[in-house]
Amino acid sequence: GPVLGLEASCDETAAALLAPDGTILAEAVRSQLAEHTPFGGVVPEIAARAHLAHLPALAAQVMGQAGVRPAELGGIAATAGPGLIGGLIVGASFGKGMAIAHNLPFVAVNHLEGHALTARLPLLRQTGVVEGEVAFPYLLLLLSGGHCQCVAVEGLGRYRRLGSTLDDAVGEAFDKSAKLMGLPWPGGPALEKLAASGDPMRFPLPRPMLGRPGCDFSFSGLKTAVAQLVPKLENEQDRADLAAAFQRVVAVVLADRARNALAMLPDATAMVVAGGVAANQGVRAALAAEAGRAGLPLVAPPIRLCTDNAVMIAWAGIERLRAGLTDGLDHAPRPRWPLAELSAERPRNQP
Ligand code: ATP
Ligand code: MG
Ligand code: FE
Q: In this model, does residue 79 exceed pLDDT 70?
A: yes
Cα–chain-centroid distance for residue 347?
A: 24
pLDDT, position 138: 98
Q: Which residue has the higher pLDDT, 256 or 341?
A: 256
Annotated binding site for Fe cation: 111, 115, 308
Per residue in 269-282, pLDDT tens?
999 999 999 999 99
Predicted interface score ipTM higher than 0.85: yes
Q: Supply the residue whose CA is at minimum distance from atom 23 of ligand 1.
A: 276
pLDDT, position 344: 64
User: How many secondary structure helices (H) and strands (E) does the chain include?
Assistant: 13, 10
Rounded distance from Cα 75 to ligand 3 centre (Å): 22
pLDDT, position 41: 84
Residue 170 alpha carbon, nearest atom of ligand 1: 18
Rounded distance from Cα 275 to ligand 2 centre (Å): 9
Residue count (the chain): 351
Rounded distance from Cα 314 to ligand 2 centre (Å): 17
pLDDT, position 186: 83
pLDDT, position 347: 60
Rounded to whole angstroms, how far apart are CA atoms 255 and 274?
A: 15
H or E stretch including 291? helix 281-293
What's the average model confidence in pLDDT over 304-330? 96
Mutate to test the pocket of ligand 1, among 149, 193, 194, 277 (most ligand atoms within 8 A of CB): 277
Q: Supply the residue whose CA is at minimum distance from atom 3 of ligand 1.
A: 146
Task: Give the sign of the dihedral formed by CA 166, CA 170, CA 176, CA 177.
Answer: positive
pLDDT, position 76: 98
Rounded distance from Cα 336 to ligand 1 centre (Å): 19
What's the average model confidence in pLDDT over 132-140? 96
Mutate to test the pocket of ligand 1, among 31, 42, 144 (most ligand atoms within 8 A of CB): 144
Q: Which ligand is nearest to the CA of 146?
A: 1
pLDDT, position 263: 98
pLDDT category at 343 given cuts 50, 70, 90 is: confident
Annotated binding site for substrate: 142-146, 175, 188, 192, 280
What's the average model confidence in pLDDT over 305-311? 96
Task: Please state the φ and ψ torsions of residue 193, each to the nearest 5 degrees.
Answer: -65, -45
Q: Which ligand is nearest to the CA of 184?
A: 1
Residue 178 alpha carbon, nearest atom of ligand 1: 20
Mutate to test the pocket of ligand 1, among 217, 307, 312, 313 (most ligand atoms within 8 A of CB): 307
> Between helices 170-180 and 187-195, what is the axis angle to 10°?
70
* Lowest model confidence (mean pLDDT) among 120-134, 228-242, 276-290, 331-345: 331-345
Q: Would you list the DSSP string of 181-215?
A: TTPPSSHHHHHHHHHTTS-TTSS----TTTT-SS-
Q: Would you list the DSSP string of 109-121?
A: EEHHHHHHHGGG-
Question: Could you tell me which residues come within 8 angstroms of residue 235 by beta carbon, excluding any fewer than 6 positions away?
Answer: none
Residue 307 alpha carbon, nearest atom of ligand 1: 11
| pTM of the full structure | 0.94
Average pLDDT of the chain?
96
What's the average model confidence in pLDDT over 145-155? 96
HEC per residue, 235-276: CHHHHHHHHHHHHHHHHHHHHHHHHHHHHCCCCCCCEEEECH
Rounded distance from Cα 256 to ligand 1 centre (Å): 21
Rounded distance from Cα 339 to ligand 3 centre (Å): 13
Q: Which amino acid is at 118?
A: T
Per residue in 168-204, pLDDT tens?
999 999 999 999 999 998 899 999 999 999 999 999 9
- Residues having CB within 6 Å of any atom of ligand 1: 10-11, 83, 144-147, 171, 174-175, 186-189, 192, 275-277, 279-280, 307-308
What's the average model confidence in pLDDT over 58-80? 98
* Lowest model confidence (mean pLDDT) among 36-40, 43-47, 201-205, 329-333: 36-40
Rounded to whole angstroms, how far apart are CA atoms 161 and 139?
A: 10
Q: Which ligand is nearest to the CA of 186?
A: 1
What's the average model confidence in pLDDT over 331-337? 97
Rounded distance from Cα 9 to ligand 3 centre (Å): 8
Per residue in 199-238, pLDDT tens?
999 999 999 999 999 999 999 999 999 999 999 999 999 9
Residue 279 alpha carbon, nearest atom of ligand 1: 27
pLDDT, position 151: 98
pLDDT, position 351: 46
